[in-house]
Structure 1
Amino acid sequence: MNNKEMQFAYKVKLALDANLDNLSDDTLQSLSAARRVALARKKQAPIHKRVEQPVLAGAFGGAMMSPEKPSWWSRLGVAAPLLVGIILFAGIYQHENAKRVSYLADIDAAVLSDELPLSAYLDHGFNAFLAEKGQ
């Protein structure tokens, strides 16, 4: 039943309760018959069955299925992948950072071992010369 139907049913119930003493016997029998028909048509509520579930034995199974405070095994099951992920992320970051430092060191070594002064690399005309020379 939606909300409007519930409100209508409640109003009808209040009206019937207020005028219960004034209703005739025929009306009461008619309402009683209508109630029996309505109860017969009402959908049966689903029957809740208890479903048996197997419980895993051992250190992992019993602790995972328990609604009580989680054991250290279940906490480790959550913390271990998180810790591995953090360590993996830190390792990748360190590796990429070392590659970048090595690349910059190679560039610096090439610039410093060259015979050109550093000011030549800052000149826009020199960049154009290098681009033209590369073709």
Structure 2
Amino acid sequence: MNSDDLNFAYKVRHALNEHADHLPPSTCERLASARKAALARKKADMPAMIAERRLAGNLGSFFSLSMFGRMAVAVPLIALVTGLAGIYQYEEQKRIAELAELDAAVLSDELPLTAYLDTGFNAYLEQQKKRTQ
């Protein structure tokens, strides 16, 4: 029962209690028989059922769709970040390998001396310097 239902029940009970002395005897008999019938239909183990439902509700909220909804967002996001980090690492390793090859060629004097005089080679070296900074 929500709070509106409880408030209504309390108001009805209060009104009946205030005017119980002024009710005709036939109405009092009908109310008494209705009360007996309601008490006979009342389940004896109601508090145990409420406790079971409360426990089931707590377990249900643990495995609720909202948790799976959050995971449905988090897992692809983690995969995206991991993928982007992997691509970045791959590109960095590739760039480092190219620079290491160029440095090894320069240091081992495999390049002819005219390569150092070529303006295109100097432009290439400047471009590589800018990339590393």
TM category (shorter chain) comes to: 0.3 to 0.5
Higher fraction of helix: 2
